[in-house]
Structure 1
Amino acid sequence: MPPPGGRHKRALVTLGLLFACVVAALLSVLVGPAGLPPGRLLAAAAGGDDWIARTILFELRLPRAVLALAVGAMLGAAGAALQGYLRNPLAEPSVLGASNAAALGAVVALYFGLAALHPAVLPLCAILATLIALALLFLLAGRSESPLTLILAGIAVGTMAGAGISLALNMAANPFAAMEIMTWLLGSLEDRSTTHIWIALPCIATGLALLLWDGRALDALTLGEDGALALGIDLGRARLRLLLGVAIGVGGAVAVSGAIGFVGLIVPHLVRPLTDRSPSALLVPSAIAGAALLTLADVLVRVIPSTNELKLGVVTAFVGVPVFLVYLMRERRLW
């Protein structure tokens, strides 16, 4: 039974995070190198004939804002779900090898020139590689329902994918190919279009739905595997939904954004003190907070003066590590 006022507190937290998302989305639409005034953008949104403003708004800034929100939500929810399922405060999508596998699929598309065929090829290769990694993860983990087995199998899959990325960089035919791969691996939402939205959103929506399905199972697992089984939880099906949700959702997200770290790790720790600390209570707030955090980080890369736009993965790492260390020192006794 939730504590008195628990639902009210959860509603206030959710509303506060949604407000932060709205602010972040507005900033993402308003901020950019073109420096268009808000009035001009508003007129373009209302159907004005300023084709320059309309192009910047609808073909550059809106797709970028939508993708930042969607990718951040997927990474935040995936981190919260994995930390609950594995009962490990350091869990994030890379623990199961999902992020590295998606990166490897994209690197293969870049290395062999497949990405030049169509904008959808690179994301589809990333998603396919993630699903192959999922199948390999099931093969390695076998019928075991132990979180430790999944972690070890995920480390093996992630290490193998990382080795594949290193091999591609080592054998790149020219420095320009290696630079293109490295640029993508640093993560960015620059120059994304509506095509990327239609590719990523179905995967992210599917992944989020599968993760949110298992809130009760995650709560039951706080009692251990035996306790969850006693409460009637089918651990095999719960694990299947969790892994599919992470693989499909993170695969679609990483496919369009590149490799972005620390969001799935840090967001649940930022949100946890605002909730009752149960895994199910973390899922939706972590998704919303992840969306706001990644969108604000994407705004930050555009306002920091530099010759070339900073990469999003670099900014999330620099912001994420200090914040994570602060919360680590404050919350270590409560895990």
Structure 2
Amino acid sequence: MPNLPPARNAAWLIPLLAALAIVAGIASLLVGPAHLSAAALWAGLTGHGDPIVRAILFQLRLPRALLGLLVGAMLGMGGASMQGYLRNPLADPGVLGVSGVAALGAVIAIYWQLASAHPFVLPLLAITGALLSLLPLMWLSRRGESTLSLILAGVAVATVSGAGINLALNLAPNPFAAMEITTWLLGSLEDRSFGDVWIALPCVAIGMALLLWDGRALDALSLGEDAARTLGVDLARVRLRLMLGIAIGIGGVVAVAGSIGFVGLIVPHLVRPRTDRSPSAILIPSALAGAALLTFADLGTRLVPTATPLKLGVLTAFLGVPVFLHYLLRERRLW
């Protein structure tokens, strides 16, 4: 790896974002249909207090809070990595089509009623779909190292996966099956358990480790592909590790939370002005900011009064569009 100077962040940024993520997680534990005080929750966490409080805490709220942090962190870091590698501020984890194929795998499980056979069938097919999406990506982009070839391959994969999902909705055997597919695609952390946490945790850990591995290579790529090669960056290996990191991490979060958009797109723009703007400098801050943002958004789905539960993917879209447009107009000359 080239001997590049380390990326720098403001000294307060990472501690502040970490504290914000912790606050979001605690708030997620406190808010819900049943009012629980902080003292009651603490007693439940330490194994004391009302058994009903412990059941609410460990079966509903704690898994939901942990998943919010995990999913948000992976989406945030995935977006930062894709924007750094592709040198495109409009890139996000879905640009390679990985999230679309993962969603297609889950839709197949729902459509063929495989998800009812065992709780792990749906996440297993979603993660398998994300990994299988790498095969057409590698084949379609095999002739060149250019990031443009990877983007075009991702567009092709995303288009095919979207067509597959629409076909499943079109041919759904009954309205209830179509409604189940649509509901899952909207994204949610509601009614998740520790089983879902154990599915997402290893995927997110492996995915984020692979993305952090090439942080310095992303800095070199900001100078251009020819300059990166001169500095000793193996573009083929960097691309493979990034694709594996995105596939494993995003496959894991889509498997448990459904399709959640805009987090990976807007979070890097929120933290980039507070750093030296090098790609590696925004990876960890984007993970922490993504964790906080998604957990607060999930908190919002419980606080917004609606006749039916508000889905997380819907809320993140409504929150993400104005924030993204604001930073697009404000920062467009600095990219």
- Normalising by structure 1, report the TM-score: 0.97
* Cα distance in 1 for residues equivalent to 2:109 and 2:101: 13
- Partner residue, 1:288: 288
1:274 aligns to 2:274 (yes or no): yes
Query: What's 1:145 paired with?
Result: 145
Q: Tell me by how many angstroms 1:51 deviates.
A: 1.1
In the alignment, what sits opposite 2:21?
A: 21
* Amino acid in the other structure paired with 1:233: V
- Partner of 2:295: helix, strand, or coil? helix
How many Å separate the matches in 2 of 1:117 and 1:143? 42
**Secondary structure, in 3 states, of the residue corresponding to 1:104?**
helix
Q: How do residues 65-76 of structure 1 correspond to structure 2 at under 5 angstroms?
A: 65-76=65-76
Alignment partner, residue 195 of structure 2: 195
Counterpart Cα distance in 1 of 2:49 and 2:217: 53
Could you tell me how far apart the structure 1 residues matched to 2:31 and 2:5 are? 41
Tell whether 2:267 aligns with 1:233: no
Greater displacement, 155-164 / 116-125: 116-125
- What SS class does the counterpart of residue 28 from structure 2 fall into? helix
Deviation, 1:37, is: 2.0
> Alpha-carbon deviation of 1:304?
0.7
The equivalent of 2:251 in structure 1 is: 251
Q: Which has the higher helix share?
A: 1
2:141 maps to a residue whose letter is A
Counterpart in 2 of 1:313?
313
The amino acid across from 2:198 in the alignment is W
Distance, in Å, in 1 between the alignment partners of 2:200 and 2:245 is 13
Structure-2 separation of matches of 1:246 and 1:11: 28
Residue 333 of structure 1: SS of its match in structure 2?
coil
Amino acid across the alignment from 1:211: L
AA in 1 matched with 2:325: L
| SS of alignment partner, residue 156 of structure 1 | helix
Deviations 1:283-334 (A, max 9, x none): 1100110000000000000011112220000000000000111111110010
Q: Which residue of 2 aligns with 1:52?
A: 52
Q: Deviations over 1:125-166 (max 9, x none)?
A: 001011111111101111411010000000000000000000
Give the drift of 1:34. Answer: 1.1
How big is the shift at 1:38? 2.0
CA deviations over 1:232-270 (Å, ceiling 9, x no partner): 001110000000000000000111000000000000000
Find the counterpart in structure 2 of residue 154 from structure 1: 154
In 1, Cα distance between equivalents of 2:173 and 2:232: 55
Q: Give the partner amino acid of 1:96.
A: L
Partner of 2:298: 298
Equivalent in the alignment of 1:63: 63
Q: CA RMSD, aligned part only?
A: 1.2
Post-superposition offset of 1:47: 1.4
The separation in 1 between residues aligned to 2:131 and 2:5, in whole angstroms, is 37
- The letter for the 2-side match of 1:116 is S
- Comparing 172-181 with 301-310, greater Cα deviation is found at 301-310
Tell me, yes or no, if the aligned pair for 2:40 and 2:49 is still in contact at 8 Å.
Answer: no
- Any idea what SS the aligned residue of 1:307 has? coil
For residues 196-211 of structure 1, the aligned pairs below 5 Å read 196-211=196-211
Whole-angstrom CA distance in 1 between matches of 2:179 and 2:230: 53
Task: For structure 2, list consecutive stretches of 5 or more residues without a partner in the other structure.
Answer: none
CA offset at residue 113 of structure 1?
0.7
Looking at structure 2, the residues matched to 302 and 26 of structure 1 have their Cα atoms a distance apart, in angstroms, of 15
**Amino acid in structure 1 at the alignment position of 2:30:** L
Distance (whole Å) between structure 1 residues aligned to residue 98 and residue 32 of structure 2: 32
Aligned amino acid, residue 46 of structure 2: A
Aligned length: 332
How many Å separate the matches in 1 of 2:73 and 2:333? 27
Deviation of 1:2 after TM superposition, in Å, equals 6.2
1:212 Cα deviation after fit:
0.3
Partner of 1:218: 218
Q: Is residue 335 of structure 2 the alignment partner of residue 332 of structure 1?
A: no
- Tell me the percent identity: 66
Give the AA of the match of 2:258. G
- The one-letter amino acid of 1:304's match is V
- Whole-Å separation in 1 of the counterparts to 2:326 and 2:232: 38
Which residue identity is paired with 1:100?
Answer: G
Offset of 1:44 from its aligned partner? 1.3
What CA distance in whole angstroms lies between the structure 2 residues aligned with 1:11 and 1:309? 40
CA distance in 2: counterparts of 1:38 and 1:17, whole angstroms: 22
1:20–1:192 distance in 2 versus 1, CA, 3 Å = same
